[in-house]
Structures are given as structure tokens and as C-alpha cells.
Amino acid sequence: MPSDRYAEVALEEKQRLFDEVKADPRYKTYLYGCYECGICVAACPSARFYDFSPRKIAQTLAREDVELFYEQLNDDVWNCSQCFSCNRCPRQNSPGGLITIMREVAVKNGLRTTKEALAGYTRIIYKIMTTGTQVSPDMLQEDAFPDWGPQVKAVSQNLDVWRRALPPETLHTTGLSWQVEERTMHELYAIWKMTGTLDMIGELDEGLHDIMEEIMDDALEESGLPTE
Amino acid sequence: MEPIDIPVAGTKVQTSRVFERDPETVRDEDLREAIWELGREGEWIVQPVPEPYYLAPTKFGRQKKIPLEHTWHHKSCGQCGHIPGYSTSIFWLNRLLGFDYFDPRDQTSCTAWNYYASATSNQAAQAAVAMRNFSAAYETGYYPLIHCGTSFGHYKEVRHELVHDAKLRRQVRAIIEKLGRPFVMPEEIVHYSEWMYAVRKQLSERVQFDLSKITATVHPACHYYKLQSGDAIYDPEIYGGQRTAAVTAVVQELGAQVADYSTWYDCCGFGFRHILVQRDFTRSFATLRKIEVMKQEANPDVVLTHDTGCVTSLDKSQFAAQAHGRNVGVPVMSESQFAALAVGAHPFRVCQLHWHAVDYRPLLHKMGIDVERAWAEFEADVEKIKHGEMEYLTWEHVL
């Protein structure tokens, strides 16, 4: 039965997004059809906890069912764990790879469901795109990780001194995973600008985009690195 | 006997869609010759694996070159951010063996976590970040050794795309050249656990404790062997070559027991976005599908793995499950930390176990390590740092 969950969205729009996914250069190496054997589902962690099936994703794309594709683009893809356990497919499909492309298209097109799914993510995006490392010790705060136990509190209370009690010089940091040279960060900014990655953020979170653009433009102007 | 005419015509194709499959571009192909060929054609510089190297068997039998020294350590955001003893142990083992290595500041995260979790990147950006890091390594003369399982798997995805997609390759090369850097592809992409595999015998000669009563379970990291799986290490002597030998071979060589469990193939539950914003999923999967199964089937003293996300998921998820009286409570660490402990590293100055959530002290006691004395020594270091008597703990303090 065709999906009617997003009946208000025109078929042409669904087709446009499907075509965008299909046009990705990686698509042909991720989809070779589907035996419907279910091995990918058996291996999938998300299939155990959500109404989620990598087999259905592969099937939908193989059948080119754009209605169901659009539903999955909105309601399913963010449940994937991106572990690629589904790569054990005997047909050599990669449902996880297909989902990676679908997520990227969903971000580029600023889907409402994508904005909702990534609402808690702006801090991580900001961190990686501005510093070049995406996990920093000072993120370990007990209010953010109450279910990780009292050790998180011990880390946050002793953070500065425990970081200095590490032998590698590159790790004497609290705001970065390791010390990154300024020039290195600036080169990363140039990459984000030249590849259109910063523009993608504009679809997701305009405020975040503007903050990052200002930081990057100022730094790049000083560095003399190219932006296009 | 007369041939039988079997009346089977087969199923007629009901669609005009074609699924093209080019055997030359399947995901697990051996890319070595293509990489060198592109180097000869001037598409990129190929950085050869430095000598001396170790030849390790891979999934489909080819021998992979694993550099022993002159390695450029591509650090991991998670390891260095909240499991710092992971990377510190790798560096310490290099120093113990007298190997020359380089710990760079001219390195970014691979950004694959960001990509897998939020997709706020694209193919060209991912490839450009990888190639910028590779060029940074090349310019130092050291060879990249990738600490993170996800970076390792993702860089191999990128390598596959760059080999097969000339348009992408040219686009990324133009970006790297605009940055004023050489466009370089390493001959092999090597994970630190492959280096551990390569030096396992040298380490076993230095073991300081009887580990024969220690039982470990191994969680092989998904992105180490499920992404671009063809050049992951598979040793015929380990599980008959049917599972990756990374981690397991090292632990056995050190003299500890490795116990099997039925959910070895399962993911740890990290999930990228889930560990941060849907942690109930991560916690449930890590404890119900992994730790509890290990406890029930193998009752290990320690869980060993070779990726940041796996240590995080399996270690941090146990506190809440323990509060519910679940059958959990096993320390989790990398094999680099375990091996370092086995050959005499300080559990806190080097292995930094105080950053881990599950109680590791029973394991250390069983190994024969004086935990209380070691903690007192570390606390004395911390007091010196607090009072300005010592700015940092340095390598001189720990070797």
C-alpha cells in the first residue's frame, strides 16, 4: 500500500529528492538490488529498538517507490546507527551507505524533520567546524551525562589538573581533544567554505551558520587562505 | 538416458531498472596497484610504508604492510577527549620499544563522526579533510597511523571514492593545492591495532605479570572490519581466520585468555547521534546485547576493544544498568591500555584509568598490580601540579 503520511507534499518534490539521492556518485556502489533475505535486519542494532529496517530502505530505493522513500527520508533515516553491520549483505548492498546519502540530501534541503532530529546537535557541529576536533574534555559535565555515573563529576571537577597530568604535550588541553595549530584550523575553514559545507549548515540552522561564517571569514582574511 | 526438457523459462524482468555492478569497483577490492598506478600517472604522490614493516595477513589473503616506526599518530577525538589513556598508552608502548614516532598538532579530526551523526558535510569535504591530514603527515616524513576505528574505515571509503572518481579526485586535489600542500595518498591505511598486532611478540617478551587467570572478551569495532573490509587483519590462527585477529591475537600473545560470546558481531550501540541525544538506545544495546551476554556466557575480567566509540558505549552504559540490578560491571578498555599494563605501565600516569566509569580495581588486583600504591603516586603528582611544583606530567616521569 503506498504511503500517505506526507500526502500534502507534491509527488514532484518527492521525486526531486529521490533523484538527488540517486544522482550521488556513491549510489551505484551502495545498491545492487535486494534479495529480501533479511540478513541486514538481523545484524542491525536499530532494528531491535525502533520500527526500522535497512531491508525496507534498500527495497524502497530498488523499487523506486518515491512515496515510501520520502516517508523514510523523514521518519527513518535518523534511527540508523551508522555501524554498517548491514554491509554483510550477500548482494553487497550497503543500506547504511544509502542512508548516509539520504541524510546528506535531507540536510541540504533543510527538511523540517531533519532540523528536529539535529536540534541537539548544534554544539557538536560548531565544535568540529570551528576547532577541528569534535570531542573536548570540557564537554564532560555531570548535568549533560547524569546516567554515566559519578566518574563524570570527578572528571569535570579535576579537569584542568588531570589534563596536565598527561604525558603527551598535545593533550594538555580542555577545550580541544588535542592542541591543533591555528593554521590547521584555518585550512579546515577553507575546506568547509570551498566545498559548500558551510552553506549546508545554513539550511539546518541559520543562526549557527552566521556565527560560523563570521568566525571563518575573519580568520581566513587574516590567513590569506582561499575561500573559493 | 534422454535429456529431460525442463519447462522453466525463468521469471521475466518486469522493470527497466538496471543495477550495474562493476567487479572492478566492488567495495572490498584491493586498491594497492590502482594507487601506485595513479601515482605513476602523476595524479598524486604515493607515500610508501617506511621500513622496517611487518607483513600481516588480511581477509582475502594479501599481505598488508604495517609500519613499525616513523609513524605519524592520527589521534582520535574521543580517545584524546575523554579516554586519554588510550592514546597515551599507544605512545608509551612506542617509547618502550624504542620506536621513533611523531605526535602532530597539524591534524584535525577526520570529521566522520560528525558526518555519520549529522550528515552536515559532503563527499568532497570529507575527502579534502582526509587528504589534508595525509599531506600534513607526508610533509613531516612520518607515516600516518590511525588511532580511531571510524577514521580508519572512513578514510578507506574516501580512498575508494578518490581512486574511482576522477572528477572528485581533481576537485579535491585543486582544494589541497590551493592550501599550498602536496596531494598525497598513503600506500596503506593502517590502524593502530594492526600495529599492536605487528609488535605483539615484542610485547609478550616484556610481560611482567602472570595473565593466565585473566579472561578477556573482545569487541571487534564495526568500522574497523565492516567498512572496506578487505584489508582488515585476519590471521588463520585466530578463529580460523573467520574473524578479525586484531585485539584477540595481541591479548592471547600476552598470555591472557580470550573467551567467546555469541553476540560478538553486534555493534556496541554507539550510534553516533544516539550516544549524545538518544542514549537510552545506546545504553540498552550496550548492556543487553553486549555486556550482559558476555557476563552470562564468558564472565570476563575485562572487555577489550580497539575504537573510541566502543570503549565509551560499553564503559559508560553500565552505571545506569547497574543501578537497575542488571548483570553488568566489567571494566572496558583498549588493548593498548591492557598491553601497557601487562608490560609495566603505570595504571594512572600512563593508562589513565581514572577516566573510566566501571571499577577497574578488581582487574588490576587480579593482574598483580598494587592499585592503592599507584593511585597514591598519581595523587602526589596531581598535588605537585596543583601547587605549582610541576607544570605537567612528562614522559620522563613515566618511563
C-alpha cell at B183: 596531494
User: CA-CA distance, A113 to B392, in Å (whole number)?
Assistant: 47
pLDDT of residue B9: 62
Interface test with A, best of B80, B133, B162 (most A CBs within 10 A): B80
Q: What is the pLDDT of residues A157-214, one digit of tens each?
A: 999 999 999 999 999 999 999 999 999 999 999 999 999 999 999 999 999 999 999 9
Query: Cβ A149–B319 below 8 Å, yes or no?
Result: yes
Q: What is the pLDDT of residues A29-61, one digit of tens each?
A: 999 999 999 999 999 999 999 999 999 999 999
Is B210 an interface residue toward A (CB < 8 Å)?
no
Q: What is the pLDDT of residues A88-106, one digit of tens each?
A: 999 999 999 999 999 999 9
Across the interface, of A139, A155, A195, the residue whose CB is closest to B124 is A195
Is B16 an interface residue toward A (CB < 8 Å)?
no
User: CA-CA distance, A26 to A12, in Å (whole number)?
Assistant: 23
Q: What is the pLDDT of residues B40-93, one digit of tens each?
A: 999 999 999 999 999 999 998 899 999 999 999 999 999 999 999 999 999 999
**What pairs with residue B47 in β-bridges?**
B186
Binning pLDDT at 50, 70 and 90, where does residue A217 land? very high
**Do B199 and B339 contact (CB within 8 A), yes or no?**
no
Mean pLDDT of chain A: 94
**In terms of C-beta density within 10 A (0-12 exposed, 13-18 middle, 19 or more buried), how is residue B174 classed?**
middle
User: CA-CA distance, B136 to B154, in Å (whole number)?
Assistant: 18
**In terms of C-beta density within 10 A (0-12 exposed, 13-18 middle, 19 or more buried), how is residue B372 classed?**
exposed
The interface predicted TM-score (ipTM) is 0.96
Question: How far does the CA of residue B43 sit from the closest CA of chain A (Å)?
Answer: 20
Find the residue in A nearest to B73 (Cα). Answer: A170
Query: Cβ A167–B397 below 8 Å, yes or no?
Result: yes
Kindly list the strands in the beta sheet with B71-74, ordered across the sheet, starting from the edge strand earlier in the chain.
Answer: B101-102, B71-74, B143-146
Find the residue in B nearest to A205 (Cα). Answer: B120
Which of B97, B59, B124 shows the shortest CA–CA distance to B345? B97
pTM of the model: 0.95
Across the interface, of A104, A183, A188, the residue whose CB is closest to B122 is A104
Q: Using an 8 Å CB-CB cutoff, list chain A residues near B223.
A: 83-84
Report the Cα B120 to chain-centroid distance in Å.
24
What is the arithmetic mean of pLDDT over B321-337?
96
